[in-house]
Structure 1
Amino acid sequence: MWTAAFWGLVGGASLVVGAVLGLYVPIGKRWVALIMALGAGVLVSSVAFELMDEALDQGGFLAAALGLLLGALAFFLGDLAINRAGGKHRKRSTGKQEDGNASAIVLGSLMDGIPESVAVGVSLLAGGKVGWVFLAAVFLSNIPESLSASVGLRRAGHRPQHILLMWAAIAGLSAISAALGYVLLSHASSTVTAGIQAFAAGAILTMLSSTMLPEAYEEGGAMIGLATTCGFLAAFTLSHL
């Protein structure tokens, strides 16, 4: 449990790193977009070759496919509800959060990060160790996410101390989510564990396609496709070494 919590915290800690960079280090939008695309590519590769492969091995095709679809549907419905509640622009760097609901912004950020943390805890159950390529993908993808959102929140009038506190709390909840994922499923069957792992994969893929990649393309242009592919190739290579 403590190991799962530790690695969940490691993955979530990059949210604070990104927030600090966004608030105190001048980084151009194009660079943020390129980092976001690289992180997305790494995460897609890790989801495909670590989470889904492991889910398939542990629980079979039906558990993996059903979990993936349910995870995608759950994120879609949750994202839709949060957007309507005022969290639509939670990741924007332009300051559009001014017209949003602060609670919806926080809930949206939690919804983006919790599936990754649960996947960390479940991967310990499924394989006995954390996939370091997947953990690196989570860490890398979190940085531009919180960086961009923090810039937007500051432009919308939120105080830097409150922004950092928000991301620190989310990082702490990421650790708790990873620990809970491990504890609650420690006695579950391999089919259930595989289904939950695939559920997290579906939520992550839907999050990437509906939030991270559109934001990256809007800010970075045509280079985003190339950067995403490079991130995918890097993770693919590392996971097969």
Structure 2
Amino acid sequence: MDWTTVFKAGLWGWLAASSLLIGALIGFYWRLPRKLVATVMAYGSGVLIAALCFEQIPEAQRLGGLWPTLSGLLIGGSVFVLADEYLDHLELHHRSRLPGKGSMVGLLIAAGAFLDGIPESLGLGLGLLGGGNISAVMLVAIFLANLPEGLASAAGLKGEGRSAGYVFTLWGVIVLLSGIAAMVGPALMAEVSPMWLSFALGFSAGAVLCMLVDTLIPEAFAETHALTGLITLSGFMTAFALSHLL
């Protein structure tokens, strides 16, 4: 195991996830227009889609071929959807039992953010295996996608009466865990066959794609409506250009 690579993956993972904390800081102390937050969501979604299409998924296919990649995509997407549905069920159950109370909502938000961050951070860390480099496009995409999530949730937690200490400790822990998730790939998969690396990258990509379609893009559409497609397209085009220039 190359510990230098493992720690390097952690540092990149923490950098990508740091936008959660930046977003939480902005959301707690400033009230930004909802359309601006939604615009960042849509733009970040486009960047992330391009990063998956042009970098992560092709790399998975290069390593292990078509079927391990497709299997990873399907299982990763299915795991995310099932976990997300379970969290939604917990939140609805909590609200029905304790209407107006927020004692469990913060933990649910944290769980949801980490659920999003696991596949993103895993895919980022796996890029360092075999002497590879971190994908700059993937890094920017994750950073942009995390920013509105931290922003919107911190504003919601403040509305529930949570203190600054509670909010920033919560999101600080999530950033820490995201960095650890990025370290998992190089730490546990350095010696495995290319087929399993292909599956792992596919798993990450499938989960992230489902997260975008189920969460980020619908939330953006609720505010930006017909412009959502164009904003997402602009993010996609930006990442496409960067993937050819960097």
TM-score in terms of structure 1 length: 0.93
Give identity over the alignment, percent: 38
Preserved contact between residue 87 and residue 100 of structure 1 (Cα < 8 Å): no
CA shift, 1:105, in A, is 2.4
Q: Which amino acid aligns with 2:71?
A: L
Which runs of no fewer than 5 residues in structure 2 stay unpaired?
1-5, 94-99
1:141 to 123, 127, 145: 145
Distance 1:152 1:171 in 2: 19
Per-residue CA deviation, residues 119-145 of structure 1 (Å, 9 max, x unaligned), is 111111166111011001001110011
1:82 counterpart letter in structure 2: L
* Aligned-partner residue type, residue 142 of structure 1: N
Match of 1:93 in 2: none
* Contact 1:40 1:208 (8 Å CA) reproduced: yes
Which deviates further from its counterpart, 213-222 or 13-22? 213-222
Query: What residue in structure 1 maps to residue 66 of structure 2?
Result: 61
Note closer, same or farther for the CA distance 1:212–1:10 as it changes in structure 2 (3 Å cut). same
Shift in CA distance, 236/108, structure 1 to aligned 2, threshold 3 Å:
same
**Alignment partner, residue 22 of structure 1:** 27
What is the correspondence of 1:1-241 to structure 2 with a 5 Å cutoff? 1-86=6-91, 98=102, 101-125=105-129, 128-241=132-245
Cα separation, 1, equivalents of 2:35 and 2:42: 10
* Displacement after TM superposition at 1:103 (Å): 2.7
TM-score (normalised: structure 2): 0.91
- Please provide the CA RMSD for this pair: 1.8
Q: Distance in 2 between matches of 1:230 and 1:19?
A: 25
Does the C-alpha gap of structure 1 residues 157 and 227 become closer, same or farther in structure 2, counting only changes over 3 Å?
same
Q: Secondary structure at the match of 1:98?
A: coil
> Any unmatched runs of 5+ in structure 1?
89-95
**Which whole-Å CA distance do the structure 2 matches of 1:176 and 1:117 have between them?**
8
The ranges of structure 1 where at least 4 consecutive aligned residues each deviate by more than 3 angstroms after the TM superposition are: 96-102
* Superposed displacement of residue 149, structure 1: 1.1
CA distance in 1, matches of 2:167, 2:225: 28
Per the TM alignment, residue 108 of structure 1 is displaced from its structure 2 partner at its CA by 1.4
8 A contact 1:126–1:190 mirrored in 2: no
- In the TM superposition, residue 152 of structure 1 has moved relative to its aligned partner by 1.2
Structure whose alpha-carbon radius of gyration is higher = 2
Measure how far apart 1:26 and its partner are: 2.7
> What is the rounded CA distance, in whole Å, between the counterparts of 1:148 and 1:97 in structure 2?
18
1:16-38 Cα deviation digits (max 9, x unpaired): 00101111123100011001100
Q: Which residue identity does 1:3 align to in structure 2?
A: K
Provide the rounded CA distance (Å) in 1 between the counterparts of 2:206 and 2:61. Answer: 14
Is the contact between residue 106 and residue 157 of structure 2 (CA under 8 Å) also seen in structure 1?
Answer: no
Report the AA paired with residue 226 of structure 2.
A
Inter-CA distance 87–40: structure 2 relative to 1 (3 Å threshold): farther
